[in-house]
Amino acid sequence: MSDLDPTRALLAEADRFLGEREGEVIALTSALVAAPTPNLPGDETAAAAVIERALAHYGLPAPRVLAEQPHRPNLIVRVDGGRPGPHLALCGHLDTKPVGDAAVEWRTDPFAPTIEGDRLY
């Protein structure tokens, strides 16, 4: 057995898991798209609320919220794997670029998730 076989098996399992929950993935992604978080001015509370609801929905631990400013929350969630060993840390951000002056050229409202064919805009 090569080192790639366990990786392929895990990827196949992840693909199956996500495929079975495609509607949930689309709903969560849509909720994040609909949560305006443009920086400037920089207010990520709407997206943070979406993430907090998703964590609760899936029975995951509530996040610890750190914020130098109330409208700029950082969510920290620790999920214990039940086994000793290395940990995986994921880091991302909740803010987005502003819509900008070219908004009139957009085909869809940037904060109204729209599905066209197999794409979510």
Determine if the peptide bond prior to 41 is cis (ω within 30°): yes
Q: What is the pLDDT of residue 92?
A: 87
Backbone phi, psi, residue 38, to 5°: -65, 140
Q: Which two tokens stand for residue 99?
A: 């819509």
Helices and strands per DSSP (H, E), number in the chain: 3, 4
Determine if the pTM surpasses 0.75: yes
d(CA 68, CA 70): 7
Tens-binned pLDDT, residue by residue, of the chain (121 aa): 556 688 899 999 999 999 999 999 999 999 999 999 998 888 999 999 999 999 999 999 999 999 999 999 999 999 888 888 888 888 888 998 888 888 888 888 888 999 999 999 8
Chain position carrying tokens 């995986």 = 88
